[in-house]
């Protein structure tokens, strides 16, 4: 089948490469000439395990192409995927400018039936706005062409996106036209394993499903962080509690890890946007507001612990920081807990020596050269002259460090762990002061 994808960002590229991998002919359209040029040369602008090979292989096989030419894009695909960004507006609601711009572009060049598929995360009601925008632009041209607008939200996790796309739990398709639903089923048939993965529903329910999934996951995390803070005050161990509740399959082990707050481009943005949508619909979503507030507070936890430990005396001190990305296997630092921590440390006059396996360039891009930030090329190198080690991202190779070296190099044997990587008893035996999340003060 022929597919056009607008937006060669994270979602667009993964979708394009995976749809090409199963034999489709995919054309990716973007407005950024630099990006298109890089992609044509096989240079992938984002870090995602497996993506560069998939893009290069499919480009070499002629199934995946890139262009700046929107007219060519509209001509190419029966399926016109919108996968452009929806950054938060100042008030937290999603900015639909780019989505509607694509709708206008498609209308400008369309002279045959097209299925416009919305993959971007957009508020409920956006498909209707896309339909109106498209129809309006067609009418202005005096063109009479049929089209359908489908909502097909994506559920990819950064760092595991290829696997998530190739082996989905479910593929949500929202359409009010049964015939289009069948065409979408056919498009996604190669991704069914053992049973049908497409879940067909009406457009608005599909749009809400995306927010409901992210809001539910964010709620699980904030709930656990709330309990972790309580466990500290009650002398309980949240890790024991986690295993205790996770064993109930109705609760499950997934997404109940306490930590220093959730980050990334999705949970913070989507929880806020859903809350704003609720407000606009005349409903105060108190639970969502609480999920967000708990997370904002949780991102301050490591700093608060440090502040208390040093009696507010952080000026002139140096801290080793392991992990910059908002989670392992990505270089993404959007809304990352590391940023809240670093910025609070700098504000207090402390210096940071940081290491991350892949997010160093991103950190440099965000903060540039500064006297109070040293980017080190190994975890060990961060420890020189450091008053404590702070851990914010659970990269696997932080899980079993050489504790003797740690103890030798740190000015004092103090570790603050925002991801509960180590056993507090072992740390005590090894002579460390170990402050984690929800495991005693």
Residue choice 181, 263, 357, 379 for contact with ligand UGA (CB under 6 A)? 263
Q: How far apart are the first and last CA of the chain?
A: 58
How much is the CA Rg of the chain, to the nearest whole Å? 24
CA 183, 184, 190, 195 dihedral sign is negative
Question: Using alpha carbons only, what angle is made at residue 327 by residues 158 and 302, rounded to the nearest 5 degrees?
Answer: 155
Q: Where are the alpha helices (DSSP H) in 257-332?
A: 267-280, 286-298, 301-309
- C-alpha atoms less than 13 angstroms from C-alpha of 63 in its C-beta half-sphere: 18
| Cα–Cα nearest to 410, from 317, 345, 334 | 317
Residue 267 binding ligand UGA, by CB under 6 A: yes
Strand 171-174 vs strand 433-435: parallel, antiparallel, or unpaired? unpaired
Tell me which stretch binds ligand UGA (CB under 6 A): 153-161, 170-178, 185-193, 343-351. 153-161
- Scored b (16 or more CB within 10 A) or e, 310-329 reads beeebeebbbbbbbbbbbbb
Residue closer to ligand UGA by CB (options 4, 298) is 298
Show contacts with ligand UGA in window 41-100 (CB under 6 A). Answer: none
Minimum separation from the CB atom of position 199 to ligand UGA (A):
15
Of 326 and 432, which has the nearer Cβ to ligand UGA? 326
Q: For ligand UGA, which stretch binds (CB under 6 A), given 34-42, 79-87, 96-104, 151-159?
A: 151-159
What's the DSSP call for residue 94?
B
Q: How long a stretch of residues is the chain?
A: 441
> What mask, x for binding ligand UGA by CB under 6 A, covers residues 1 to 40?
----------------------------------------
Site for ligand UGA, residues 297 to 356, rule: CB under 6 A: 326-327
The SS3 assignment for 388 reads: strand
Number of shown-chain residues binding ligand UGA (CB under 6 A): 20
| Member of 66, 257, 395, 398 binding ligand UGA (CB under 6 A) | 257
Cα gap 385→367, rounded to integer Å = 22
Q: Is 357 in the site for ligand UGA (CB under 6 A)?
A: no
363 is catalytic: no
Residues 214-233 contacting ligand UGA, CB under 6 A: 214, 217, 221
Which candidate in 18, 28, 266, 363 is catalytic? Answer: 266
Instruction: Tell me if 391 contacts ligand UGA by CB under 6 A.
Output: no
Nearest Cα neighbor of 119 from 82, 168, 170, 148 is: 82
Candidate segments 139-147, 258-266, 353-361, 373-381, binder of ligand UGA by CB under 6 A = 258-266
Catalytic center residues:
266
Residues at the contact surface with ligand UGA, assessed by CB under 6 A: 121, 154-158, 214, 217, 221, 255-257, 259, 262-264, 266-267, 326-327
């Amino acid at each position: 089948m022929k597919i056009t994808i607008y937006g060669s960002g994270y979602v667009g590229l993964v979708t394009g490469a995976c749809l090409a991998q199963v034999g489709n002919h995919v054309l990716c359209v973007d407005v950024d000439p630099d990006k298109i040029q890089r992609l044509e040369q096989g240079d992938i602008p984002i870090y995602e395990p497996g993506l560069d090979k998939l893009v290069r292989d499919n480009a070499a096989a002629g199934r995946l192409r890139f262009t700046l030419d929107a007219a060519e894009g509209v001509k190419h695909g029966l399926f016109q995927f919108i996968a452009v960004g929806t950054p938060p507006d100042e008030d937290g609601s999603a900015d639909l400018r780019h989505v509607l711009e694509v709708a206008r572009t498609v209308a400008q060049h369309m002279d045959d039936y097209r299925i416009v598929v919305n993959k971007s995360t957009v508020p409920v009601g956006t498909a209707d706005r896309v339909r109106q925008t498209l129809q309006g632009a067609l009418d202005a041209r005096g063109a009479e062409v049929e089209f359908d607008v489908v909502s097909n939200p994506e559920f990819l996790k950064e760092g595991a996106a290829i696997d998530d796309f190739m082996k989905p739990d479910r593929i949500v398709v929202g359409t009010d036209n049964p015939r289009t639903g069948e065409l979408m089923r056919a498009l996604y048939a190669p991704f069914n394993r053992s049973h049908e993965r497409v879940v067909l529903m009406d457009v608005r329910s599909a749009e809400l499903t995306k927010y409901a999934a992210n809001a539910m996951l964010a709620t699980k995390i904030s709930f656990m962080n709330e309990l972790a803070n309580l466990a500290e005050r009650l002398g309980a161990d949240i890790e024991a509690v986690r295993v205790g509740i996770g064993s109930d399959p109705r609760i499950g082990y997934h997404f109940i890890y306490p930590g220093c707050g959730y980050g990334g481009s999705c949970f913070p943005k989507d929880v806020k946007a859903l809350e704003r949508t609720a407000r606009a619909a005349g409903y105060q979503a108190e639970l969502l507001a609480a999920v967000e507030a708990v997370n904002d507070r949780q991102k301050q936890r490591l700093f608060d612990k440090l502040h208390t430990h040093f009696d507010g005396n952080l000026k002139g001190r140096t801290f080793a920081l392991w992990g910059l990305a908002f989670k392992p296997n990505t270089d993404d630092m959007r809304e990352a807990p590391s940023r809240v921590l670093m910025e609070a440390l700098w504000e207090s006059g402390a210096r940071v020596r940081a290491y991350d396996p892949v997010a160093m360039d991103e950190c440099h891009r965000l903060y540039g050269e500064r006297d109070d930030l040293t980017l080190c090329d190994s975890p060990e190198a961060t420890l020189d002259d450091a008053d404590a080690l702070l851990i914010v991202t659970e990269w696997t190779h932080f899980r079993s460090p050489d504790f003797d070296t740690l103890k030798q190099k740190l000015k004092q044997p103090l570790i603050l762990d925002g991801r509960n990587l180590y056993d507090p008893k072992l740390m005590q035996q090894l002579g460390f002061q170990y402050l984690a999340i929800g495991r005693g003060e």
